Amino acid sequence: MADIGWLAFGAAIVALFVWYFWHTAVMMVRYFRTITHYLDTRGDRLKAEIAHEAIHGRPPLWYRMVQKALILSIIAGAAALVWMKFKGA
């Protein structure tokens, strides 16, 4: 017959595994719902951008160039990290 302490310990371990996998599944579903909501509302964001442009005009050229440069530098940095990661492999 097993000791009650070992049974409680085993039950606690099983409960931790169940909680971990439940929490992971809930977080994955929440993440995918956030992404699908973001993708589904793209039209609304474009309409708001067009309305803002109609009221305030286009942003200056330097501002658009800075935006593009920041995005390209982030992409280039990520590509460099991936390259360095797999270069040694």
**4 and 35 part of one domain:** yes
* Residue-wise DSSP of 1-69: ---HHHHHHHHHHHHHHHHHHHHHHHHHHHHHHHHHHHHHTHHHHHHHHHHHHHHH-PPPHHHHHHHHH
pLDDT-derived band at 89, boundaries 50, 70, 90: low
Q: How many structural domains compose the chain? A: 2
Distance CA 57, CA 50 (A): 9
Tens of pLDDT, residues 13-45: 999 999 999 999 999 999 999 999 999 999 999
Distance CA 77, CA 74 (A): 5
**48 and 70 part of one domain:** no
At residue 88, the pLDDT reads 74
Token pair belonging to 60: 């200056």
0.85 surpassed by pTM: no
Per the structure, the complete domain to which residue 36 belongs is given by 1-58
